[in-house]
Chains A and B, each alone.
Chain A
Amino acid sequence: MYKLGRDLLLLALMSLLAVGASAQEGGILIGTNFGGDPTTINPLLTNNTVDLSLTEFLFPNIYNIDPVTRAPMMGGRNDQDNGLALDWSLSDDGLVYTFTLRDDVMWNDGTPVTAHDYKFTFDALASGETSSPRGSVLQSVESVEAVDDTTLVVNLKLASCRALDELNDFGILPKHHIESLIDGDFAQINDLEYNKNPSVTSGVFNFGALVADEQTSMIRNDNHWMPVSPEGYILRNVPDQLVGIEQFLAGEVNSVGTAGSASVPAVRMQEFRDKAEAGEFQIYEYVDDGLTFVGFNLADRSNPIDGLDEDGNPADQGHHHFFGDMRVRQALAQAVNYADIIEGAAEGEGIQVNSFGTPALWGYDASIEPWEYNPDTALALLAEAGFVDHDDDSSTPLVATEDALYAEPGTEFAFELLTNSGNLVREAAGTVIQDQLGQIGIAVDFQTIEFGPLVTFLLGQDFDAIMIGFTNLAQDTDARNVFTPVGDTVGGGFNFVSYRNDRVTELYDQALSLPGCDLGERQALYHEISQILHDEVPWWWLFAPFSMYAESNAVQNWMPYAETRYANMANLAINP
């Protein structure tokens, strides 16, 4: 009798397990969107993570990115692949790309997706009439030709290893539909009703509805080339992150954040780990592709001028009285405890970075030792650079001697550090920096100002030091606009620190024009750049935060990767 009872119990348990293991088909995925309504759902015009969280499931790209290697993924036929290209080739001179496209992908009105659609989208961008921010592709691409429905030829102006990335920087528009709406005038694309309600699409979902400040939805595309399991995907608009987190914990939504954002705040990560371990929900952690840093103004801030003169020759921009001397920057890099910064700013949920980029980038060189906290070495370097403690009182600032390269003798070591108000991470990091530099006699006037004025100071190159962050760096490591004189233009350029190193410029050029664009060879060039940037400290490399996706247990078959939350969206099943 006892044995029979035990067997029945086992049978019942196995049945339960079997039910649990077989994911229920369909269901609606509900995410929390902290970023406001999508500004546009036109893949040519999109410019934020909310927009991209929608367009990635609605519009085809020329190829998809492998979620593991971050390399172009062509010719695959699985649910991680929404790319059109079966294959591509590059001419020997590196100036002509030829793509062979699938012939079996359809818009949801039954019209095939063809090379003509890509050409139309590119031509709209190249016209300069649209409000698309994706102008960088035009630097390297001369023209696009649709030879036939499945053959696309791209002619480059110059051999560029970034061209392939840039060609995939936008989703493809349905030519037959958009053309009928704009009367030959690409400028009309900016104001189309289609941008808010794209009726003709070709993704795993069709567009559902946008209810202002409330939700945006997409509905399963039953005519997609592969079966799509989820009934739909809703982004619930929740402006307050705290409220969104509680909605998730209460089971009102399936995920924290959208497809394009992780959004579990650092302060809640440990709690989420504990709960995930207890089986309450699923999480996935990775190092974010965002970087927090301090930019040192290396030039004379009282007279900001472009890095190159009218003839393209290096201009004399003067030197910042402190940061123009590399030894001072190296001293500062060793004067703070990075663990304290990461703890104070990000609850310890981050990793110190050693140079430009984060471990999420394929060009990042993890073997470079990051700067270590060593205040004695920092003081010695400062003394060598001509800044000494003249009164044996560490509470007063160091003072410049005649040995200082660019500071007048007697100048106290005091500088202004700016960041944007409202960013608690940077405010906390700035406070730690101010405190720790104060301990070795460097007075930091740390100011948090509104983002608008901060940008004006930043691009106007009118600052001593400025703390900001770059995100979405995962696409490529090419940062020639940031660290070469090409980007050193007052008022608009991103080399706002006025950094110049001829070897770095040469390496960037080589990495961009390398014949064959071999990833390994390019990686080696970027590693050399990383080492120089680490050593010369034009930016004070701080940290990259950890990111965490959180998904309810109702979401079955979930396969997340860093930067790719729903690589297998079509196969997800959401239990009610």
Chain B
Amino acid sequence: MLKYIIRRLIQAIPTFFGITLFTYLLLWLAPGSVVERLYLAPNIKAETRERLAKQLGINDPFHIQYLRWLAGDDWLRWDTDGDGISDAAFTPLVPLDEDDDGIPEPPGDNYGILRGDFGRSFVKKQPVMDIFLANLPATLELGIAAVVTALAIGIPVGVLSAVTRGRAFDNISRVLAVIFDAIPNFWLGYILLAIFGVWLKIAPIGGRCVVNLYGTCPPLFERLIYLVLPTVVLAAGFVALFSRYVRTSTLEVLSEDYIRTARAKGLAPQVVNFRHAMRNAMIPVATLLGPIITNVWAGAIVIETVFAWPGVGRIAYNAAVQQDYPVVMGIVIFASLGTILGFLLSDILYVLIDPRIRID
């Protein structure tokens, strides 16, 4: 198993670099820039925009920008005597005195993601990692709550739907599954906010905490009410997905010989259905966990916007709109790693649930 995991992780490395290269290329090819988006006004001179673009390095050639992001720029020019002025440069890539003013440019202070430096946001001027970590707890809160809710509802509904095949419960749950799978989550979000927040006034209209002068947020159990509506919206599609998978899988399992044997032994239906059938029916669900992580990221972008939920999805959306490359790349890395690890986790769960499966 360990060898398998290591092999999979090694295989993921080229995939990972391919994703980063492709994403950076797409960003670089996009017309316009963060400077034009933020500083496009008649009273801001073209020279000022040029200076700001230079400070951010966004006018450099693609290979320099990508290398700087990947491996940093402290090695492109270096300062051996520590006087703050470069005294050497990696000349095939950058000149020592780029602007020909007679003074060598200072060495860079970016270490690149290979050395754990995700860079600084062009817009917020903060380290990308700080920005990401500030919003990660909110997304984890929402994502975990949604997945747990989806599993807690979707699996029993799927099993019950299978064992009551063709009857009212089965028909209703299947219709609802199609409906909730098809409803756009932003629309469902608005509807729930309108009903429970605006009309019934029993839920807050968005947000994660009560606003206050000191920016403090109480523990989760004291503000669960804020979590309910976004969780319902994010979980709705997952419940539909899980219930349909589990129903199909359970139907297959229920026709197996060992289930017939269990019933012939006189075991209670709930023991047969939930102890014997359900565990085997879970195998396809395990394969869903990887894609679910991707779906949580994707869903978070919309749901966090509608519910003013301060998560990573909000960062991703804003950064993409503002062409804030370092932040977009940071999000892409975390999303890629999450997806790669999610699929790996699916494979591992597959083995744990079904002892017949062996990995080598």
Structural contact, B213 and A234, CB atoms closer than 8 A: yes
List B contacts of A481 (CB < 8 A): 42-43, 45
A212 and B310 in contact (CB under 8 A), knowing A131-B55, A246-B198, A491-B46?
Answer: yes
List A contacts of B307 (CB < 8 A): 243
List B contacts of A250 (CB < 8 A): 197-198, 201, 205
Interface residue A456 (Cβ < 8 Å from any Cβ of B): yes
Q: How far, in angstroms, from A128 to B214 measured CA to CA in the complex?
A: 35
A217 and B48 in contact (CB under 8 A), knowing A40-B125, A238-B308?
Answer: no
A48-69 CB mask vs B (1 if < 8 Å, else 0) is: 1000000000000000000000
Q: How far, in angstroms, from A141 to B4 measured CA to CA in the complex?
A: 68
In the assembled complex, how far is the CB of residue A199 from the closest CB belonging to chain B, in whole angstroms? 14
Query: Which of A191, A219, A239 is in CB contact (< 8 Å) with B305?
Result: A239
List A contacts of B41 (CB < 8 A): 133, 470, 472
Structural contact, B310 and A243, CB atoms closer than 8 A: no
B145-169 CB mask vs A (1 if < 8 Å, else 0) is: 0000000000000000000000000
Q: How far, in angstroms, from A211 to B37 measured CA to CA in the complex?
A: 24
A217 and B36 in contact (CB under 8 A), knowing A40-B125, A246-B198?
Answer: no
Interface residue A521 (Cβ < 8 Å from any Cβ of B): no
Interface residue B174 (Cβ < 8 Å from any Cβ of A): no
Which stretch from A368-376, A425-433, A447-455 is at the chain B interface?
Answer: A447-455
List A contacts of B194 (CB < 8 A): 246
Q: How far, in angstroms, from A482 to B314 measured CA to CA in the complex?
A: 35
List B contacts of A482 (CB < 8 A): 42
Interface residue B77 (Cβ < 8 Å from any Cβ of A): no
Interface residue B173 (Cβ < 8 Å from any Cβ of A): no
Q: Which positions 276-316 of chain B face chain A at CB distance < 8 Å?
A: 305-308, 310-311, 314-315
A494 and B213 in contact (CB under 8 A), knowing A135-B47, A252-B204, A252-B205?
Answer: no
Q: How far, in angstroms, from A240 to B193 measured CA to CA in the complex?
A: 12
B43-65 CB mask vs A (1 if < 8 Å, else 0) is: 11111111110010000000000
Interface residue A489 (Cβ < 8 Å from any Cβ of B): yes
List A contacts of B214 (CB < 8 A): 208-209, 217
Query: Which of B125, B211, B217, B318 is in CB contact (< 8 Å) with A195?
Result: B125
Which residue of the partner chain A has the closest CB to B309? A213
In the assembled complex, how far is the CB of residue A127 from the closest CB belonging to chain B, in whole angstroms? 11
By size class, the interface of chain B is: 35 or more
Structural contact, A452 and B48, CB atoms closer than 8 A: no
Structural contact, B125 and A191, CB atoms closer than 8 A: yes
B208-249 CB mask vs A (1 if < 8 Å, else 0) is: 110111110100000000000000000000000000000000
Structural contact, A214 and B209, CB atoms closer than 8 A: yes
Interface residue B250 (Cβ < 8 Å from any Cβ of A): no
List B contacts of A450 (CB < 8 A): 31-32
Which residue of the partner chain B has the closest CB to A162? B43
Q: How far, in angstroms, from A250 to B199 measured CA to CA in the complex?
A: 9
Structural contact, A213 and B315, CB atoms closer than 8 A: yes
List A contacts of B51 (CB < 8 A): 128, 135
Q: How far, in angstroms, from A487 to B50 measured CA to CA in the complex?
A: 15
Query: Which of A133, A208, A232, A236 is in CB contact (< 8 Å) with B207?
Result: A236
Structural contact, A247 and B211, CB atoms closer than 8 A: no
Q: How far, in angstroms, from A242 to B197 measured CA to CA in the complex?
A: 13
Interface residue B17 (Cβ < 8 Å from any Cβ of A): no
Q: How far, in angstroms, from A213 to B142 measured CA to CA in the complex?
A: 15
B97-108 CB mask vs A (1 if < 8 Å, else 0) is: 000000000000
Structural contact, A236 and B211, CB atoms closer than 8 A: yes
List A contacts of B42 (CB < 8 A): 470, 479, 481-482, 487, 494
Which residue of the partner chain A has the closest CB to B36? A455
Which residue of the partner chain A has the closest CB to B217? A211
Structural contact, A211 and B36, CB atoms closer than 8 A: no
Q: How far, in angstroms, from A53 to B305 measured CA to CA in the complex?
A: 22
Interface residue A365 (Cβ < 8 Å from any Cβ of B): no
A453 and B310 in contact (CB under 8 A), knowing A128-B51, A236-B207, A236-B211?
Answer: no
List A contacts of B36 (CB < 8 A): 452, 455, 459
Interface residue A37 (Cβ < 8 Å from any Cβ of B): yes
List A contacts of B209 (CB < 8 A): 214
Query: Which of A196, A212, A217 is in CB contact (< 8 Å) with B213?
Result: A217
Interface residue A136 (Cβ < 8 Å from any Cβ of B): yes
Q: How far, in angstroms, from A190 to B37 measured CA to CA in the complex?
A: 19
Structural contact, B215 and A136, CB atoms closer than 8 A: no
Q: How far, in angstroms, from A195 to B125 measured CA to CA in the complex?
A: 9
Which residue of the partner chain B has the closest CB to A243? B206
Structural contact, B135 and A243, CB atoms closer than 8 A: no
List A contacts of B39 (CB < 8 A): 47, 133
Which residue of the partner chain B has the closest CB to A137? B43
List A contacts of B31 (CB < 8 A): 450, 452-453, 455-456
Interface residue A287 (Cβ < 8 Å from any Cβ of B): no
B163-199 CB mask vs A (1 if < 8 Å, else 0) is: 0000000000000000000000000001001100110
Which residue of the partner chain A has the closest CB to B52? A131
Which residue of the partner chain A has the closest CB to B209? A214
List B contacts of A196 (CB < 8 A): 126
Which residue of the partner chain A has the closest CB to B317? A239
List A contacts of B311 (CB < 8 A): 213
Interface residue A39 (Cβ < 8 Å from any Cβ of B): yes
Q: Which positions 241-256 of chain A face chain B at CB distance < 8 Å?
A: 242-243, 246-247, 249-250, 252
Structural contact, B131 and A212, CB atoms closer than 8 A: yes
Interface residue B13 (Cβ < 8 Å from any Cβ of A): no
List B contacts of A246 (CB < 8 A): 193-194, 197-198, 205
Interface residue A231 (Cβ < 8 Å from any Cβ of B): yes
A492 and B134 in contact (CB under 8 A), knowing A47-B38, A191-B120?
Answer: no
Which residue of the partner chain A has the closest CB to B51? A128
Structural contact, B205 and A28, CB atoms closer than 8 A: no
Query: Which of A211, A214, A236, A242 is in CB contact (< 8 Å) with B190?
Result: A242
Q: How far, in angstroms, from A295 to B134 measured CA to CA in the complex?
A: 43
List B contacts of A82 (CB < 8 A): none
Interface residue A297 (Cβ < 8 Å from any Cβ of B): no
List B contacts of A243 (CB < 8 A): 193, 205-206, 306-308
In the assembled complex, how far is the CB of residue B5 from the closest CB belonging to chain A, in whole angstroms? 34
Q: How far, in angstroms, from A556 to B45 measured CA to CA in the complex?
A: 42
Q: How far, in angstroms, from A384 to B237 measured CA to CA in the complex?
A: 63
List A contacts of B314 (CB < 8 A): 213, 239
Q: Which positions 439-477 of chain A face chain B at CB distance < 8 Å?
A: 450-456, 459, 470, 472, 475
Q: How far, in angstroms, from A191 to B55 measured CA to CA in the complex?
A: 12
Structural contact, B205 and A39, CB atoms closer than 8 A: no
Q: How far, in angstroms, from A459 to B47 measured CA to CA in the complex?
A: 13
In the assembled complex, how far is the CB of residue B185 from the closest CB belonging to chain A, in whole angstroms? 13
Which residue of the partner chain B has the closest CB to A234? B211
Interface residue B110 (Cβ < 8 Å from any Cβ of A): no
A210 and B215 in contact (CB under 8 A), knowing A236-B207, A239-B308?
Answer: yes
Structural contact, A28 and B213, CB atoms closer than 8 A: yes
Q: How far, in angstroms, from A322 to B307 measured CA to CA in the complex?
A: 49
Which residue of the partner chain B has the closest CB to A191? B125
Q: How far, in angstroms, from A219 to B314 measured CA to CA in the complex?
A: 27
Interface residue A545 (Cβ < 8 Å from any Cβ of B): no
Known contacts A209-B213, A243-B206, A491-B46; 12 additional CB pairs below 8 A are A133-B39, A191-B125, A208-B214, A213-B315, A214-B209, A217-B211, A243-B308, A249-B198, A250-B205, A452-B37, A470-B41, A482-B42
Closest 3 CB pairs of A and B: A452-B32, A492-B46, A209-B215
Can you list 18 A-B pairs, Cβ within 8 angstroms, ordered by A? Answer: A39-B124, A133-B48, A133-B52, A136-B45, A209-B215, A213-B311, A217-B215, A239-B314, A240-B308, A247-B206, A250-B197, A451-B32, A452-B30, A453-B32, A455-B40, A470-B42, A481-B43, A481-B45
Which residue numbers of B lie inside 8 Å of A, CB to CB? 30-33, 36-52, 55, 120, 123-126, 131, 134-135, 138, 190, 193-194, 197-198, 201, 204-209, 211-215, 217, 305-308, 310-311, 314-315, 317-318, 323
Which residue numbers of A lie inside 8 Å of B, CB to CB? 28, 30, 36-37, 39-40, 47-48, 128, 131, 133, 135-136, 139, 190-191, 195-196, 208-215, 217, 219, 231-232, 234, 236-240, 242-243, 246-247, 249-250, 252, 450-456, 459, 470, 472, 475, 479, 481-482, 487, 489, 491-494
